Amino acid sequence: MARMVDPARGLWRVDLHMHTWASPDSRTDPAALVERARAAGLNRIAVTDHNTIEGALAAQRLAPDLVIVGEEIATETGGELIAYFVSELVPRGLSLAETLRRLHAQGAVISVSHPVDRLRGSALGEALTLSVIDQVDALETFNARCLFAAYNRRAAELAARHGKLTTAGSDAHTLAEVGAGYVSLPPFRDTPEGFRASLARAKPGGRLTGPLPHFASTFAKLAKG
């Protein structure tokens, strides 16, 4: 499939949240992920495994034209940040301030994944999100795994109110989910600066994937022991 979401406007479709076997709750092989992303017509993907960049680096070696190295990082609060153009692993369990410091030091683009999803303990929550709002580039305003659209709408409201960029993604832990969430945005240079400039014109899109993918993640975690 040709990798262009809107040829008339020259926009790219980019899924900014997905996982591989490097995450404890996914069994997706990086090679299969790359193949699926290309078949879905995605122009770029960000591989954002939990607290590791191993899977992202493996996928990028296979498809450097496609893959952005990212990481979804659990802080000491239990809430997560999600970052792009990560060049050095940021370990889990650090304070919010230290996690942000390490991401800023390497020039990463920083977002907050599913920030106000009340059904996920990994959500940072509105109060903590607001406490660091001036230190992040973006909020994830569409996550396909949110069970209620209201959580995405609230994230979008916060992003608009505070002048933040918006990110979106499938949060795919299985191949079937790839591309279920995405941003449509202008083509960008493969740099944090180029990515930020393009995100300023990004529009989130996609569909909610419902509860079944969450069961798949639980099964993957159990199967991996």
For the stretch 71-101, pLDDT in tens is: 999 999 999 999 999 999 999 999 999 999 9
3 inside domain: no
Strand 44-47 versus strand 12-15 pairing type: parallel
Q: Do residues 75 and 99 touch, judged by C-beta distance below 8 A?
A: yes
Using alpha carbons, select from 213, 197, 183 the residue that is nearest to residue 5: 183
22 inside domain: yes
Residue-number span of the structural domain to which 65 is assigned: 12-223
Count of domains for the chain: 1
Confidence of residue 225 (pLDDT cuts 50, 70, 90): confident
7 inside domain: no
Q: Could you give the angle at the alpha carbon of 110 between the alpha carbons of 117 and 154, nearest 5°?
A: 30
79 inside domain: yes
- The model's pLDDT over 136-184, given as tens digits with 9 standing for 90+, comes to 999 999 999 999 999 999 999 999 999 999 999 999 999 999 999 999 9
133 inside domain: yes
6 inside domain: no
* Percentage of the chain modeled with pLDDT above 90: 89
Indicate if the pLDDT at residue 3 is higher than 70: no
Rama region for 67: left / alpha / beta (φ>0; ψ in -120 to 50; rest)? beta
- The model's pLDDT over 96-130, given as tens digits with 9 standing for 90+, comes to 999 999 999 999 999 999 999 999 999 999 999 99
41 inside domain: yes
User: pTM surpassing 0.85?
Assistant: yes
Indicate if the pLDDT at residue 9 is higher than 90: no
CATH number, domain containing residue 189:
3.20.20.140
Q: Do residues 158 and 117 touch, judged by C-beta distance below 8 A?
A: no
2 inside domain: no
Q: What span, in angstroms and rounded, lies between the C-alpha atoms of 10 and 81?
A: 30
For the packed helices 54-62 and 30-39, what is the interaxial angle rounded to 10 degrees? 60
Indicate if the pLDDT at residue 1 is higher than 90: no
